[in-house]
Amino acid sequence: MRSMKNRRVNKKKEGERMIADNSEKFPSFIYGTAWKRDATAELVNTAVSSGFSGIDTANQPRHYQEHLVGEALLKLASEGIDREELFIQSKFTPADGHDHRIPYDPSADLSTQVKQSFEGSLKNLRTDYLDSYLLHGPYSQPGLGNEDWEVWSAIEDLYKSGKARFIGISNVNIVQLQLLTKKARIKPMVVQNRCFASRGWDRAVRVFCRDNHIIYEGFSLLTANSFVLQNPGVQKIARELGRSPEQVVFRFSMQAGMIPLTGTRSEGHMKEDMLVRDFKLDSNDLNLIENLTCI
């Protein structure tokens, strides 16, 4: 059972936000809606009632039910939680990331695909703007190809229209991110990556984001790092703090410069996750977790 005790507490108000250099506001924690299927709307409502203001989704029916996120937002609005109080992030997914349910015309040019997918997201989410819009992943490896530049140009146009307040990219390596930042008319403002402790918690990309004022979002922080939760040093930190190893990992991610994502289905864990803003790890704790490579 995940403990709720307080030690080494540095209390912060419930509405804590991480602030980008352009003074726009990001949530300090984001709820991810992948693989929630028919439970999506209920879980989004539960997450918001538990304290989450950031919701991540994608117009990718293979893994997300974006229209059910929209149903949740409609219900929340009826309960007095305005759209402006929430941070909604979605993604454009290339055709090879879909099953047969592609939410745009795959025979159209790429710019049209982006526009159709984005308009579909607005309709699904019952909104006229998105707080953040990401390319779900590059078309090419290890660098960027013509498709990536065409799609990014279309995403830049969405930003210039004011319908997407931040733009960025997910599942990106350091070479791709450096190229995009150097050559794009509008550089990426957000990166969302899976984060493996065994690979240094995506350190090269994180450092690049920090140095270039790009928001870094980390996902799979628990599911990709089960050995971290079992590490004796991490468990000792958790015991000393009266916290769970999961809370320690999320707190580490925040202090390491990430906005963490969680996809828990447990209301209890959602509420515990909100409490990671109420304490801090010291430098020894941070160094231990930063440099874990195996159990």
3-state helix, strand, coil in the chain (%, to 5): 45, 15, 40
Confidence of residue 24 (pLDDT cuts 50, 70, 90): low
Tens of pLDDT, residues 64-117: 999 999 999 999 999 999 999 999 999 999 999 999 999 999 999 999 999 999
Domains 28-171 and 195-295 share a fold: yes
The whole-angstrom separation of Cα 212 and Cα 62 is: 33
The whole-angstrom separation of Cα 277 and Cα 274 is: 6
Residue 279: HSE in the Cβ half-sphere, 13 Å Cα cutoff: 26
Tokens of 288: 């231990």
Beta-carbon contacts of 271 under 8 Å, excluding residues fewer than 6 positions away, are 50, 51
Q: Do 179 and 152 meet the contact criterion of CB atoms below 8 Å apart?
A: no
Confidence of residue 25 (pLDDT cuts 50, 70, 90): confident
Q: CA of 287: how far to CAs of 167, 174, 192, 200, 245, in Å?
A: 31, 23, 23, 11, 16
With pLDDT > 70 as the criterion, what percentage of the chain qualifies? 92
As a dihedral over the C-alpha atoms of residue 88, residue 176, residue 259, residue 158, rounded to 10 degrees, the angle is -20
Tens of pLDDT, residues 52-78: 999 999 999 999 999 999 999 999 999
Return the CA Rg of the chain.
19
The whole-angstrom separation of Cα 176 and Cα 146 is: 13
CATH, domain range 195-295: 3.20.20.100
The whole-angstrom separation of Cα 44 and Cα 56 is: 10
Kindly report the pTM of this predicted structure: 0.91
Tens of pLDDT, residues 241-277: 999 999 999 999 999 999 999 999 999 999 999 999 9
Domain 28-171 in CATH 3.20.20.100? The answer is yes
Domain range annotation of the chain: 28-171, 195-295
Residue 128: HSE in the Cβ half-sphere, 13 Å Cα cutoff: 2
